[in-house]
């Protein structure tokens, strides 16, 4: 079976990166080849020219989708953690990735604002930064995601358990583990 | 051993894409997992925002290098065919890719202009398009590439033979073939 892409979408601070890392650790232990594509990392590198307009955010999603697709074609699972606030861009990525698992990592704004690990919301409220999803920019939740999680009500461990069950249900964890090549 | 990146650099029409396809076919027959990253294809997709200024050309090279590096980390050989005219950008890619094989596909301007498969040089001479490498834009040849080929003097088949010999010499084709995973 062709590999798959899990796409975590949600507000900044909702727990996407944590989930991505936990899933990666699980896959690592299962010897399933994978790559984490984290929005923040991408913005520091292959998307460093992009800002936070709708157009730029969608281009960011498009590029991550491009890389995820290349990886999937080589039987590498792609784990994406990116706010990806616009439905249109996510749906476009879905059309090019055969096994696309959209996971809405929901979390009330009040909760992510209280966490505010990056100090993002504080700076948004003070007017220091603009274009913050949930404050000054919209977030369009998925209508029919493959999985809905609420990280205000579930622990990361519980979320991972639910996610793994869903991946099995989708038939994506039922095959034999991917063989990692050990030398070209 | 970690996979490697072969980076074909040279003027438009010098035969980079042909070489890339021939190498890909050889690797396919040897069951060595690989991906061709062709400059023209990249410009139609993940680099579609880029033009032909020095800055944009270097960003193009940088993004291709990013993807090649990700692929290499997963033991997938990357085959890059891109004009990549500026030494600085190629050298920068070299620093991030452990097994980087720079191949200068040289060909006299007169020869590529006579071929002119894409009609590029004709349009450059008529002034219809600007920023054409070799005409209005510089091409900075590699100083010490891993391999120098002259496609005015060698056939694509001869070039592939020389390239494979060089890859073996570099120890990059001596390991056992990469195992392709068959299911996640």
| Residue A129 · residue A123 · CB < 8 Å | yes
Instruction: List chain B residues with pLDDT less than 50.
Output: 175-184
Sign, Cα dihedral of A88, A76, A169, A159: negative
Q: What is the pLDDT of residue A1?
A: 65
For the entire predicted model, the pTM comes to: 0.89
Q: What is the CA radius of gyration of chain B?
A: 16
Chain-chain contact of B184 with A74 (C-beta, under 8 angstroms)? no
Q: If you ran DSSP here, which 8-state letter would residue A87 be given?
A: H
Which of B12, B84, B151, B178 is labelled catalytic? Answer: B84
Chain-chain contact of B180 with A184 (C-beta, under 8 angstroms)? no
CATH number of A5-169: 3.40.50.300
Q: What is the pLDDT of residue A180?
A: 45
Give me the residues paired with residue A36 across strands.
Answer: A79
Q: How close, in Å, is residue B130 to chain A by CA atoms?
A: 24
Q: How close, in Å, is residue B46 to chain A by CA atoms?
A: 6
A14 tagged catalytic: no
Distance from C-alpha of B126 to C-alpha of A80, rounded to nearest angstrom: 46
Q: If you ran DSSP here, which 8-state letter would residue B45 be given?
A: T
Q: What is the pLDDT of residue B174?
A: 72
Q: How close, in Å, is residue B134 to chain A by CA atoms?
A: 28
Q: What is the pLDDT of residue A117?
A: 87
Distance from C-alpha of B166 to C-alpha of B4, rounded to nearest angstrom: 13
Give me the residues paired with residue B103 across strands.
Answer: B8, B147
Please report which residue ranges of chain B form alpha helices under DSSP H. Answer: 16-29, 39-43, 54-73, 87-96, 109-115, 120-125, 156-169
pLDDT in tens, chain A (184 residues): 689 999 999 999 999 999 999 999 999 999 999 999 999 899 988 999 999 999 999 999 999 999 999 999 999 999 999 999 999 999 999 999 999 999 999 999 999 999 998 899 999 999 899 999 999 899 999 999 999 999 999 999 999 999 999 999 999 997 444 444 433 3
CATH number of B5-107+140-169: 3.40.50.300
Sequence-distant (6+) residues with CB within 8 A of B91 are none
Chain-chain contact of A75 with B172 (C-beta, under 8 angstroms)? no
Distance from C-alpha of B182 to C-alpha of B184, rounded to nearest angstrom: 7
Locus of tokens 């680099």:
B47
Contacts of B32 in chain A (CB under 8 A): 184
For A122, the enclosing helix (H) or strand (E) is: helix A120-125
Picking from A75, A66, A83, A73, the residue whose alpha carbon sits closest to that of residue A17 is A83
Picking from A27, A40, A139, the residue whose alpha carbon sits closest to that of residue A75 is A27
Contacts of B184 in chain A (CB under 8 A): 1-4, 32-33, 75, 77, 172-173, 175, 177-178
Interface test with B, best of A2, A45, A184 (most B CBs within 10 A): A184
> B8-48 pLDDT, tens per residue?
999 999 999 999 999 999 999 999 999 999 998 999 889 99
Give me the residues paired with residue A183 across strands.
Answer: none
Domain boundaries, chain A: 5-169
Complex-level ipTM: 0.86
Locus of tokens 């698992």:
A101
| Residue A57 · residue A89 · CB < 8 Å | yes
Which of A12, A14, A31, A84 is labelled catalytic? Answer: A84
Q: If you ran DSSP here, which 8-state letter would residue B82 be given?
A: -
Beta-carbon pairs below 8 A across chains A and B: 99
- Across the interface, of A33, A172, A183, the residue whose CB is closest to B181 is A33
């Amino acid at each position: 079976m062709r590999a798959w892409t899990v796409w975590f979408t949600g507000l900044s601070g909702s727990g996407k990166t944590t989930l991505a890392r936990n899933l990666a650790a699980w896959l690592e232990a299962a010897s399933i080849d994978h790559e984490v594509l984290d929005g923040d990392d991408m913005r520091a590198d292959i998307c460093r020219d992009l800002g936070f307009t709708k157009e730029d955010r969608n281009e960011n999603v498009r590029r991550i989708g491009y890389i995820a697709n290349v990886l999937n074609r080589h039987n590498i699972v792609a784990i994406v953690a990116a706010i990806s606030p616009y439905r249109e861009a996510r749906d476009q990525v879905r059309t090019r990735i055969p096994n696309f698992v959209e996971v809405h990592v929901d979390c009330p704004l009040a909760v992510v604002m209280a966490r505010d690990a990056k100090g993002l919301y504080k700076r948004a409220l003070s007017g220091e930064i603009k274009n913050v999803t949930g404050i000054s920019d919209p977030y369009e939740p998925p209508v029919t995601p493959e999985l809905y999680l609420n990280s205000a009500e579930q622990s990361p461990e519980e979320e991972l358990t639910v996610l793994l069950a869903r991946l099995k249900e989708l038939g994506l964890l039922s095959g034999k583990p991917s063989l990692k090549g050990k030398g070209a």
